[in-house]
Chains A and B, each alone.
Chain A
Amino acid sequence: MPVIKAEHLSKRFGKKVLAVDDVSFAIESGTITGVLGPNGAGKTTTLRMILDLVRPTAGSVTILGSRYRDLRTPAARVGALLDSSGFHPGRSGRNALRVIATGAGVSNARVDETLALVELEGAAKRAVKGYSTGMKQRLALAAALLGDPEVLILDEPANGLDPEGMLWLRTFLRKLATEGRTVLVSSHVLAEVEQTVDDILIMSRGKLLAQGPIHELTASTQPVVRVRSPQAEKLEAALLSSGAAVNRLNDALAVRGPSAAEVGDIAHAQGLALHELLTEQPSLEELFLQIAGTRREQ
Chain B
Amino acid sequence: MIALARAELLKLRSTRTALGLFIVVLFVTLVPLTVLLIAVPKDWLETDGVSGFLSTASALVPLVLLVFGILGMTNEYRHGTITYSYLVTPRRWQVMAMKLVVYAIVGIVTMLIAVALVYVVIRAGGAIRGVQIDASGGATLGDYARQIVVAGLITTFGVALGALFRAQVVTVAGVLIWALAVENIIVVLKPAIGRWLPFTVFNAVSAGQMTGGGSGSVTTDLLTRPQAFVVSLVYIAIVSVAAIFISLRRDVT
Q: Which A positions have Cβ atoms within 8 angstroms of B? A: 13, 44-45, 48, 51-55, 68-69, 71, 74-75, 80, 82-83, 85-92, 95-96, 98-100, 102-105, 143
* Set of chain B residues within 8 Å of A104, measured between Cβ atoms: 3, 88
In the complex, what distance in Å separates the CA atom of A87 from the CA atom of B75?
10
Number of A-B contacts defined by CB within 8 Å: 87
Minimum C-beta distance from A189 to chain B (A) = 22
B98: nearest chain-A partner, CB-CB: A103
Contact A85 B80 (CB under 8 A): yes
Contact A54 B251 (CB under 8 A): yes
Contact B90 A102 (CB under 8 A): no
Q: Which of A86, A90, A143 contacts B16 (CB 8 A)?
A: A90
Q: Known pairs A51-B90, A82-B83, A102-B3; list 9 more (Cβ under 8 Å).
A: A55-B249, A55-B251, A85-B79, A88-B75, A88-B81, A95-B14, A98-B10, A102-B7, A103-B6
A52: nearest chain-B partner, CB-CB: B90
14 example contacts (A-B, Cβ-Cβ < 8 A) are as follows A44-B253, A53-B83, A71-B90, A74-B88, A83-B80, A83-B83, A86-B79, A87-B81, A88-B11, A88-B15, A90-B17, A102-B3, A102-B7, A103-B4
B248: nearest chain-A partner, CB-CB: A55
Asked whether any CB of chain A lies closer than 8 Å to the CB of B47, the reply is no
Interface size on B, residues (CB 8 A): 27
Given contacts A54-B253, A87-B81, A88-B79, contact A103 B16 (CB under 8 A): no
Minimum C-beta distance from A58 to chain B (A) = 15
Minimum C-beta distance from B78 to chain A (A) = 9
Contact A69 B90 (CB under 8 A): yes
Q: Which of A13, A75, A91 contacts B87 (CB 8 A)?
A: A75
In the complex, what distance in Å separates the CA atom of A92 from the CA atom of B15?
9
In the complex, what distance in Å separates the CA atom of A96 from the CA atom of B83?
13
Minimum C-beta distance from A276 to chain B (A) = 49
Minimum C-beta distance from A24 to chain B (A) = 21
Contact A100 B14 (CB under 8 A): no
Q: Which of B11, B249, B251 contacts A53 (CB 8 A)?
A: B251
In the complex, what distance in Å separates the CA atom of A85 from the CA atom of B79?
7
Minimum C-beta distance from A261 to chain B (A) = 52
* Set of chain B residues within 8 Å of A54, measured between Cβ atoms: 251-253
Asked whether any CB of chain A lies closer than 8 Å to the CB of B89, the reply is yes
Q: Mark B139-156, 1 if CB is under 8 A from A, else 0.
A: 000000000000000000
Q: Which of A13, A45, A86 contacts B84 (CB 8 A)?
A: A86
In the complex, what distance in Å separates the CA atom of A85 from the CA atom of B76?
11
Contact B15 A103 (CB under 8 A): no
* Set of chain A residues within 8 Å of B84, measured between Cβ atoms: 86, 99-100, 103, 143
A94: nearest chain-B partner, CB-CB: B14
Minimum C-beta distance from A242 to chain B (A) = 51
In the complex, what distance in Å separates the CA atom of A104 from the CA atom of B7?
9
Minimum C-beta distance from B15 to chain A (A) = 5
In the complex, what distance in Å separates the CA atom of A124 from the CA atom of B107?
31
Minimum C-beta distance from A36 to chain B (A) = 20
Asked whether any CB of chain A lies closer than 8 Å to the CB of B91, the reply is yes
Residue of A52, A74, A92, A102 with highest tally of chain B CB at under 10 A: A102
